[in-house]
Amino acid sequence: MCNSNYSDIKSNYSDTKSNYSDTKELTAPDKKIVQVLQEEFPLCEEPYKILAERAGMSEDEFLARVNDFVREKKIRKLGAVLQHRTAGFKSNALCAWNVPQEKLSEIAAIMSAHCAVSHCYDRNPAPNWNYNLYTMIHAKTREECDGIIAELSKLTGITNYQVLYSKKEWKKTAMKYFSES
Amino acid sequence: MELSNFDKSLLNLLQGNLPVCKRPFAAMAAKLGADESFVLNRVRELKAAGYLRRIGTFFNSDNLGYRGTLVALEVAPSEICAVAQAVNSYTEVTHNYEREGKFNLWFTLLTLNADRESSILQEIKSMRGVEDMINLKSNKKFKINVQFKLQ
């Protein structure tokens, strides 16, 4: 089914918390840890020594807390993201699907299993926009991207959808947490 | 720069999780059958050559207390540039794309409280050229995956 080299090494499934009050506010030292971790990772023998110093705590304390964050799923991943272009993916589309609500999980699972799909979220539809499932699709060319979308439509039987090709990337950044003024 | 087989193994490993320990690159080097200093140098070179978008920590924003949403705007074509730049100016906006279709500007917004989200959306909605706005909240993330396996 997947003839591109975009392959699904690991994917995460998670419920999105809908209310702000669903999560306890972080303590000041924890916020500090988040602030230092979200900067570029130091490329040296003992990176955590440097990060711990910036956070004003010992390396052992810092490492223990980072491990807690991983366990508590505050940290999704600690590693690298490649440039899409490095891997040769030049065509990216957001595809919005109109899926019967009772079949949402089943269809989302089929779409998520496809290696060209990097993100798959449900979303509440809007009055003039009746789409409730969203996938990001990556391919080498627009033709390949169109082919993948047609394949997903055939696999799921969902024929009501909108393909939203990007015309211009205005912003793509990692969030700077706890830095709002 | 041509990627060697070693580079590809290194990049595949690097896209997973770096071990959380005192010498993470030594632990990675052991898995690759190489020296810590060799691995570190190669990571620095690959980064300098532009192969890595970012190396660091990716948080699950929900579990830090943030709530995210996807917002789509219908903007008059003559104003799209000005509106896109104004949307970009919010630190809470992480991705902002001009797309084909009726809704031609799509951005993601991450905020720590509902008041901040609604005040940002109010400000954007009242900008010149913004004709319609839809706020598309998510309940379930089925897949979040930005890894490219190199073969």
Q: pLDDT tens digit string along A94-126?
A: 999 999 999 999 999 999 999 899 899 999 999
CATH class held by domain B61-136: alpha beta
Q: What ipTM did this prediction achieve?
A: 0.84
Shared domain check, A125 and A63: no
pLDDT tens per residue across span A47-76: 999 999 999 999 999 999 999 999 999 999
Shared domain check, A136 and A98:
yes
Which residues form the domain of A56? 28-71
Q: Is residue A21 part of a domain?
A: no
**Is the residue at A7 inside a domain?**
no
Residue of B18, B71, B93, B140 to mutate when probing chain A, most A C-beta within 10 A = B140
- Give me the phi and psi of A39, to 5 degrees please: -80, 170
- A119 and A96 housed in the same domain: yes
Nearest to A121 among B54, B56, B142 (CB): B142
Could you tell me the two tokens for A93? 């589309």
Domain positions in chain B: 5-48, 61-136
- Candidates B17, B23, B57, B62, partner chain A, best to mutate (most A CBs within 10 A): B57
Nearest to B151 among A5, A48, A59 (CB): A5
Asked, for residue A17, whether it belongs to a domain, the answer is no
Percent of chain A with pLDDT over 70: 88
Buried b (16+ CB within 10 A) or exposed e, A110-139: bbbbbbbbbbbbbbebbeebebbbbbbbbb
Chain A residues 69-88 with a CB less than 8 Å from chain B: 70, 72-84, 86-87
In a domain, A2, yes or no: no
Put simply, the chain A residues between 129 and 168 with a CB less than 8 A from any chain B CB are 129, 134, 162, 164-168
Q: What is the CATH number of the domain that holds A98?
A: 3.30.70.3460
CB-based contact B63 A165, cutoff 8 Å: no
Report yes or no on A77 lying in a domain.
no
